[in-house]
Structure 1
Amino acid sequence: MNVLSVVTAVHPAALQYLGSAYASLNAQTLPDGWTWEWCIQEDGPDVASKELLPEPSDPRIHIGSSRKGGPAVARTMAFARSTGSLIKVLDADDELTAGTLARDIAALEAHPRIGWATSRVVDLMPDGSLVGFDGDPSPGVMPRGAVLEHWREHRRPQVHPATLCARRDLVTLLGGWMALPASEDTGLLTALSVLSEGYFTAEAGLRYRKHSAQSTAHPDHATGAEWAARMDIIEARAAALADLVTSSKV
C-alpha cells in the first residue's frame, strides 16, 4: 500500500479548527492502492489536540508532541515520524477541498520527473464566505526555477505553499522546513522549485482560513527587520541551490 503522509503543526490558537481539518481529510477519496496517514505535531507540551478530534481512535492519526519551537520545528518533527512516499502539508486551521489528495497523487504519478505539486487556494473568511484571487500560473507542469524567479520580482511565492505535496526524498534532502519564525513553508517550496519541476492544479485544493490568531496576522509578518531577513535568506538559499544544480555539483 502506498502512503501519503499529511503533516500538521498544531498550536493552541488553531485547536478549535482541528476538527474541521480532520473532516476535510477524512472525506478524501484516494486512488486504489493508496492510503493516508495524518502526522500531527503539537508545538509544545500543553497542546491537547486529541481532545478536539472527532475520531481520536482513527488508526491513521499519529499524534506527537515536542518542546515549543514554532511551525517549522513542529512540521519537521511530524515529517520525521511519517512513513509516506509523498508528503502533504495541511495547516491545522485549513480545510482540504474534495479530491485534493487524489489530484496531487495523479499529477505526481503522471509526471515522474516532477518533485512537487500545488494548487489554487481560496480564502475562508470569518463569515464563512470564500474569496479567490487572480495571478495563478497556467495549470500543468511548472519549469524548474519559476517559483524563485517570481519570488525575486514580487517577494511572494508564485503558488501557495500551504497546498504543497512533495516527494519524500526531496523534503529529506532539504532537511524539512526552514528554521524561521514564519514563511518556513515558502522557504521549502522555493528551494524545491529549483531542484525539480513542479505542477500546478487550477482547481482549488485548499480553503485557507483567515483569522486574527494565525501567524500571518502577526505585525512582523509582512514588514520590518524580521520580514526582510526572512525574505533575504529564502532567496539566498534557493539561489545557492540553483547555482549548484546549474553547475552539476549536485
Structure 2
Amino acid sequence: MSRRITVVTAVHAPSACFLPEAYKSLREQRLPDGWEWQWLIQEDGYGEEVRPYVPDDARVSFRQGRSGGPGVARTIALARADGAYVKILDADDQLPPGALARDLAVLEADPAVGWATSRVLDLLPDGSTAGFPGDPEEGPIRRGAVLDFWTANGFRAQVHPATLFVRRELLLALGGWMALPASEDTGLLLALNAVSRGWFSAEVGLLYRKWEGQVTGQSAHTDPAEREARMAVVAARARALADYEWQYPPAY
C-alpha cells in the first residue's frame, strides 16, 4: 500500500490567490516516518490566472480542464492520485497543524473506518476565527447517522464535508464527487456514510474561509428550486446505497 496522502484541490480564478496560504498550511503538516503527501491542484477551466499561484514543489501537480464545477475538477484529479488516502482541501481553506496526522492515525488504527471528518472554524476576513455549536462528540459515526441527522435538521449535516479524509479505493468505488452544480461534497459524505462507518475528531481540522467571492455565498447556491432538486438526488443516492446493502469493508 502506498504510504502517501493525496490532497485534492479544485480551484478557479477568483480563489487562486489563496493557494499560497493553503500551501503553507500543508507544508506545516507533520506526518509519521515513511509517510508523505502529494498535492493535486485541478483548475476548473482554462485560463492564465491560476498558474502563477501554484507552488514550485515536486510534490505539487497542476492541471487544467474544461469547466464543470468543483466536483468534476476533484474527480478528474483522481486520475493522478496514487495515495492510499485522499484529503479534500479547498483552495481558499487551510489545514491547522496536525490535521493530516490525526486523520491518518484514525484510519490506520481501524481498517473498518472508511472516512474521517473533524471540527471546523470559520476563518473571517479580519483573520479571526469563529466556531459554532452542534458538533457531535469525538468518536465513531455509525452507518446512516449523517443522513438521519441531515434529514431531520433542514439538510444540514452534523459534520462538514470539506474536512473529509477518505480511503482512496472507497472514494473511487463511489464514483468520486456527485455531478451537481453544488452540494457535491455533501452528496459524497452521505454516500460514504451509507456504506461505511466514519469518525469525527473534536480537534479543529479545517479553517473554512469566509469571503465574498466564495461559491456558497452566491445567490445561485440558494435558489429554492435548484436546492430542492439537489437535496432530493443527494438523499435518493444515499438511500439507494443503503437499500442495496453494499458496504465497506465488504461482508464475506
Please indicate the TM-score interval, normalised by the length of the shorter structure: over 0.9
Q: Cα offset for 1:50?
A: 3.2
Distance 1:192-1:44 versus aligned 2 partners, 3 A rule: same
Which stretches of structure 1, 4 residues or longer, exceed 6 Å deviation after superposition?
Answer: 246-250
Q: Map Cα deviations across residues 94-139 of structure 1 (whole Å, 9 max, x no partner).
A: 0000000000000101111000000000000011110000101110
Q: Cα offset for 1:47?
A: 4.7
* Corresponding residue number in structure 2 for 1:206: 206
CA distance, structure 2, for counterparts of residue 221 and residue 242 of structure 1: 28
> For the Cα contact (< 8 Å) 2:38–2:59, is it kept in 1?
yes
State the AA in 2 paired with 1:92.
Answer: A
* Corresponding residue number in structure 1 for 2:87: 88
> For the Cα contact (< 8 Å) 1:10–1:47, is it kept in 2?
no
RMSD of the alignment, in Å?
1.7
CA distance, structure 2, for counterparts of residue 9 and residue 80 of structure 1: 14
> For the Cα contact (< 8 Å) 1:144–1:196, is it kept in 2?
yes
* Corresponding residue number in structure 2 for 1:121: 120
SS in 2 for 1:97: coil
CA distance, structure 1, for counterparts of residue 239 and residue 29 of structure 2: 36
CA distance, structure 1, for counterparts of residue 162 and residue 246 of structure 2: 28
Q: Cα offset for 1:220?
A: 2.7
Q: Cα offset for 1:222?
A: 3.0
> For the Cα contact (< 8 Å) 2:44–2:70, is it kept in 1?
yes
TM-score (norm. length: structure 1): 0.95
Where does structure 1 lack aligned partners over 5 or more consecutive residues? Answer: none
* Corresponding residue number in structure 1 for 2:216: 216
Correspondence 1:226 to 2:222: no
Correspondence 1:150 to 2:149: yes
TM-score (norm. length: structure 2): 0.95
CA distance, structure 1, for counterparts of residue 206 and residue 181 of structure 2: 23
Correspondence 1:49 to 2:50: yes
* Corresponding residue number in structure 1 for 2:180: 180
How many percent of aligned residue pairs carry the same amino acid?
54
Give the length in aligned residue pairs.
248
Where does structure 2 lack aligned partners over 5 or more consecutive residues? Answer: none
